[in-house]
Every structure is written in structure tokens, then in C-alpha cells.
Amino acid sequence: MAFVLKTFGRLQLVDEEGNAVAFPEKGLLLLAYLFTTDQGSADRTTLARFLWGEADRDVAQSTLRKVISRIKARQIDLGVNILSSQGNVLTLDRGALSSDMLLAGEGEEVEPFSRLRQLVTLMNQPFLEPVHSHSRQFQHWLAERENYHNELLANTLRTASQLAQSRKDAELLRKAAVILFRTEPKDPETLQLLIKIFKAEGEVELLRSYFEQRRSATSKGSAARTGSDDGDAKFLRPPSASSTAKLEASLPLEPEDIRIAIPRLVLLPPRNQSARPQAGFLAASLVEDITIGFCVFNSLEVIAPYSAVQIGHQVETQKAFFERHCVNYILDTRISNMGDEVTLFAQLIFFDQNQIVWAERFSLDRMDLARDRRVVARQIALSVSSEIERHEALREDLNPVAYHRYLVGRRHLARLTLPNLRRVRKEMKAALSVSPDFAPALSSMARTYSKEWLLTARGDIDLLQLAETFAKQVTGMRSDFADGYRELGVAKLLQGAFDESAEAMEVAESLAPHYADVIADYADTLVHCSLPAMALRKIERAIELNPLGPDTYFWTAAGANYALGEFEASLDYIGQMADPHLADRLSAANWAMLGHQDKARIFVRRFREGNPDFDVDKWLSAVPSKEQWHKDLYREGLKKAGF
């Protein structure tokens, strides 16, 4: 009987009728790896490192022997000899097993559209979907495979795009283009190719509407509760002539202007030139809230508020920052007096040409805040792209009193202390008293309870249950509100419900793909889920969106690197923290694992000065970590350091 190894979608072995055949998962992973090696062979040491990384060598070899034994027993049951061993070398019999693996040298003679059709079918599914391995060797191999797949798709797409003749051909090109954009959304060559393909058919709006889509985020939020997901079935639709014309006018599509296909916007904090300090606080919260509101759009990237505040105070380095981070639009704001009235002056600047494209003045009277938020957001949206008019800021039901109390309370979240949390809670309750369904206030309430749990460190489960209750109230009312899922994810994580936490964070990110704080919290969740490689990719994305971000970003990145055994990289991230003392425990563990006991003890002494009763085992028992190896690795570093 012939067997096929399926690697796209679910990693599995299937028979000639397409039925899944039971086979050890590690065995399937070994088969996939051997398909990519010379002669289909590798020695046992290499295979053990591939599966388990730099774990204890004797343990890894012993575990590998058990895996091989199970593979051989299963092969006897199936009456096939796929994997054989001779001495220290394992060899794959490619004559006994075929695969959907994309390998160099295969399929080169296939007609381009046939090849592209095959690639679209395969790459519309994730590669090695259910496989989780923390081995650096595996992660490196996986990255190489995915890079090869992307390069193969891009080259085939480029060739096929020159040969398209029918509507069916054009449809296939578009499907392939969407897959390529998913994998390489920021690559200039990819964007250039995408625009060429979509523009060739006179359907520029298709590309734009893909940028606008939030990857079926709302339906994905519903799927988290109902189990249904329509995927991308509704993506492709013919544009109207008028909308295409609007897009041609609003979106430069020449190759040299490709970098602004997805504009980047920074909203600088307001300069207060009035005599009222309170006006500065409210205006700053207003601008920050508008910034976060824009994070739901794939067609617009927004520099996170934290970085915006930092660069707002560094006038001499602003230009270099804007150039380095490819900022296209700047919203500059200042507060001043107009007689007895305090106003916010805002101007939108197109940085590439130093051109003011819009300017307006707004009253900071509290009854005007909600109205002015909508006006500011709408004007920015219309100036940046005619396709962003659907911004949530256009909602007409926002209660101005509730919004005012929300902004007042929100500024206390910047510095987490118990008194500040009580102040936040007081203002949010006041907001909810006049607008009981105001989702931002409800999610802020949830945040105060989870943060109180962390600050008090008493393990009070009632606080986490309150946080979860408020978060669920938000998601029940607003399935499109990212902060609700974010707070649900945090509450679930602190209760040790790792899978539910990761699921909620995934929905939050899909709803707000450029919301740096959401992505950072998702990364932190993945660290605690013992998925450090995924966590590192997430936190690097958050840092990209918020390059002057808070210390928690770099702390999360340091923790992910430690779990990957990248101790020097972990120390590098700690070194980027404004207050690296916060991570003294982790610094000590890193230096100890690198064999520098003298440096490790410096951090141990410094940490014990403020925490003389610290107990490693007691602390680790309270820290949520899904996998035991993760706790063991941290325990090893802390013990070696002298804790």
C-alpha cells in the first residue's frame, strides 16, 4: 500500500484512499525533516538536536531510541519500511513514501499556472499546523522551509502573471497574491508585485479592501464562541468604477511610492500653552484614545501612544525618527486659550512633502469632547484615505459625560499603584453610571482588577473572577472590541487557563492588528504558554509598532529569549529597559546560565536588598507556566545564580 506524508494543514500520514493513518507525531516530524536532507539521511545526534534542541544529550538520545522503536513497530503493523537505521544513521526510503513537501528541483518543468494552482492549494493551509517544538534547530529549519515556500510562490506568481489570458487565470493570480501578502505583508517587492497584479485587472480596490479587512476579525470573534469561521470566502468582489477612481486618486501606486501603500501615522501629544494643566491631561488622553482607535485598520499603521509621547518630548530627533520609521502623516496638536475658552489646535502634516493637508481648532469643554473626537478622527481618516470613513469614532451614541470620566480615569493607568487603580475604578464607575454599556470603561474596570491581583500578590481569585466578568461583559456586547478580548486573555492567563487566554489574545490581535499593547500582551501570554519562539515574533512586532515602548515590552522579549536558551539576547533586551532593575532576577539567571557566577551574584544581592524573603520554589509555583520544562529552566538559572 502506498502512503503519503501530508505537511500542509495537519501533519499526518495518509493511505492511497486519503484516510489518515496513525503514526507517532515525532516520527512524522522526522520524516518531514529527512525529506529535506541529502540522500534522505541524518545521524541520531542531529535528529535528537532537531527534536529537542540542547536538552540533556543522554536523555534526548534515550527518548529518540524510544521514538524509533515505536516507528519500527508501527511500520511492521502497516507492512511498510519507510524509515531504516544502520549504525548511527537513519534513512528515509523515498520509494516507499511520497509527500506534498515543496522541495528544490521538483516541479520546475510544470506549466506555471499548474504549478501556481498546486502552490495555492497547499499554501492556503499552514505548514506543519499542529506541531510544537521549542528546539532552536527546528525553528531554524521551519523558518528556512517557510522562506523557501514564499520565494517559490513569489517566483511562480511573477512568471504566471506574464502569461495570464483568461478571467480564470486572473482569479488564480489574485488568490496567490493574497496568500503571498499574508506571509510577507511588509516586503516592498511583494507589495510591488501585488499592486502590479491587481492593477493589471483594473481592480485596485481589491488590494485596498484586503488591506482594510481585519482578517475576518469580527467573524473570528464570533467563531471563538460559535465555532464557525467563513475565512476569506467573501474577499474577492468586483469594484465599482467610482470607487476605483477614488482609490487611484488617494493611493499612489507607482513602484517608487510603494512604501506608502500602507500609510504610517503618528499622533503627537499636545503641547499645553494654556493656563490649565487639567486641559493638557484631557487632551493627551483624547489624542491617545484616537490613536488606539485607528489600530483596528489594516490600511493604516499607527505609531503607538507610548512612542509618540517619547518622541513628542524630543524635538531635535523627531525628523530622524519619522524617517527611520517611515512615518507619512503627523498629527501635531497644541492647547491654547481663546478668550475664556480652552481649545485644542490640530494640524495634519504630510511629512514626505512637509505639507499641511488639514487643520482645525476644537473646544476642550467636556461636553464637546465626544463630538470633537469624532470630528478629529473623521478628518484624519478622510485626509489619509477615503476608505477609512468607517472608523468607530463616527459612532453617534457616545455619551460625552461618560467619555469625559473615562479619559480622566484612564490617565491614572499610566503608573500602576493601588491608589491609582482605585482612582481609575472610581472614574470608570462614574462613566458607567451614565452609560452602562460603554465598552472602554468596562474593559478598564477589568484591567484594574487583574492589575490589583498582580500588585497585591495575595492570590485573591475573586479579583481575577471580577476581571473576567467585566471582560466577558464587554465581549458579549461588542464582539469587535479588541480591548475586551485582551482583558479576558489576561484574566484567563493569571488563572492558569492558558489555551483560553491564547485564544482570546488571538481574537484581540485580529481585531486590532496594529495595536502594539494588545500584541505585547499576546506575546506575554505566549511566553507563559511556553511558546517562546512565537512570543518573540509577536513582541518584536509590538516593538516595531512602539519602538520607544514601555519596559514591559523588552522584559517580555527577554523572557522569551531566556526560554529559547538565547541568554545573551535576553540580556540585550534587558539592557534596553529604562529601569533594568525590574528584571534583576532574570538578569541573574541569564548570567548564571552563561557561566558568569560573579555577575549573576551582583544581581542576586541587589534583588535581595528589596526582597529578603524571596523563595524560588514558592515564587515559581505562583507564576503561570504551561510546561514543566519552562519552570525547570528558570529554576535552574535562579538556583545557579545563588537564589
- Looking at residue 25, what is its pLDDT? 86
Determine contact, residues 454/494, Cβ cutoff 8 Å. yes
- Looking at residue 465, what is its pLDDT? 94
Query: Between 207 and 526, whose confidence is greater?
Result: 526
Residue 143 predicted with pLDDT over 80: yes
pLDDT confidence bin for 353, thresholds 50/70/90? low
Q: Between vectors from CA 339 to CA 337 and to CA 341, what angle results, nearest 5°?
A: 60
Q: In 3-state terms, what secondary structure has residue 30?
A: helix
What's the count of helices (H) and strands (E) in the chain, helices before strands?
A: 28, 13
- The segment with the largest mean pLDDT, out of 225-229, 257-261, 417-421, 584-588, is 584-588
pLDDT tens-digit map of 194-234: 666 655 443 434 444 444 443 443 344 444 433 433 333 33
Q: Spell out the residues 6+ positions from residue 443 whose beta carbon is closer than 8 angstroms to its own.
A: 470, 471, 474, 481, 483, 484, 486, 487
Determine contact, residues 1/15, Cβ cutoff 8 Å. yes
Determine contact, residues 514/496, Cβ cutoff 8 Å. no
End-to-end CA distance of the chain: 58
Strands 41-43 and 89-92: antiparallel
H helix or E strand, kind and range, residue 22: none
**What is the mean pLDDT of the segment spanning 276-283?**
66
Q: Between vectors from CA 187 to CA 351 and to CA 356, what angle results, nearest 5°?
A: 10
Q: Measured between alpha carbons, how far is 384 from 23 in angstroms, rounded to an integer?
A: 54
- Looking at residue 460, what is its pLDDT? 81
Residue 242 predicted with pLDDT over 80: no
Which cell numbers hold the place of 326? 517611515
SS3 content of the chain, % helix, strand, coil (to 5): 65, 10, 25
| Residue 314 DSSP one-character state | -
pLDDT tens-digit map of 361-401: 777 665 455 555 555 555 554 444 433 333 333 333 567 78
Question: Which residue from 511, 439, 532 is spatially nearest to 135, judged by alpha carbons?
Answer: 532
Number of Cβ atoms within 10 Å of the Cβ of 175: 18
Q: In 3-state terms, what secondary structure has residue 370?
A: helix
Query: Between 11 and 264, whose confidence is greater?
Result: 11
- Looking at residue 230, what is its pLDDT? 37
| Residue 270 DSSP one-character state | P
Identity of the amino acid at 350: F
Residue 497 predicted with pLDDT over 70: yes
Residue 424 predicted with pLDDT over 70: yes
β-strand partners of 6: 12
Question: Which residue from 36, 40, 23 is spatially nearest to 138, judged by alpha carbons?
Answer: 36
Determine contact, residues 598/574, Cβ cutoff 8 Å. no
**What is the mean pLDDT of the segment spanning 52-79?**
86
Which cell numbers hold the place of 314? 524630543
pLDDT confidence bin for 448, thresholds 50/70/90? very high
Pick from 354-368, 486-500, 564-578: least confident? 354-368
For each of the domains in the chain, give its residue range(s) and CATH number, in order of start.
3-99 (1.10.10), 140-224+250-260 (no CATH), 264-394 (3.40.50.10070), 417-508 (1.25.40.10), 513-643 (1.25.40.10)
Q: Measured between alpha carbons, how far is 604 from 606 in angstroms, rounded to an integer?
A: 5
**What is the pTM assigned to this prediction?**
0.50
pLDDT tens-digit map of 317-347: 788 888 888 787 788 878 877 777 777 777 7
- Looking at residue 184, what is its pLDDT? 64
- The segment with the largest mean pLDDT, out of 467-471, 548-552, 574-578, is 467-471
**What is the mean pLDDT of the segment spanning 554-573?**
93
Q: Spell out the residues 6+ positions from residue 340 whose beta carbon is closer than 8 angstroms to its own.
A: none
Determine contact, residues 92/81, Cβ cutoff 8 Å. no
Q: Where are the beta strands (DSSP E) in 29-88?
A: 41-43, 83-86
- Looking at residue 278, what is its pLDDT? 66
Please compute, for residue 13, the number of CA atoms within 13 A of its CA located in the half-sphere on the CB side.
23
- What is the full DSSP assignment across 530-552? T-HHHHHHHHHHHHHHSTT--HH
Q: Measured between alpha carbons, how far is 355 from 281 in angstroms, rounded to an integer?
A: 28
Q: Between vectors from CA 616 to CA 612 and to CA 618, what angle results, nearest 5°?
A: 95
Which cell numbers hold the place of 375? 470630528
Query: Between 371 and 152, whose confidence is greater?
Result: 152
584 φ, ψ (degrees, to nearest 5): -60, -40
User: Residue 274: is it exposed, middle or buried by C-beta count within 10 angstroms (0-12/13-18/19+)?
Assistant: buried
Q: Measured between alpha carbons, how far is 326 from 352 in angstroms, rounded to an integer?
A: 9
Q: In 3-state terms, what secondary structure has residue 123?
A: helix
Mean pLDDT of the chain: 77
pLDDT confidence bin for 19, thresholds 50/70/90? confident
Residue 303 predicted with pLDDT over 60: yes
Query: Between 69 and 403, whose confidence is greater?
Result: 69
Strands 3-6 and 12-15: antiparallel
Q: Measured between alpha carbons, how far is 322 from 319 in angstroms, rounded to an integer?
A: 5
| Residue 36 DSSP one-character state | T
- Looking at residue 468, what is its pLDDT? 95
Which cell numbers hold the place of 405? 470620566
Which cell numbers hold the place of 498? 492558558
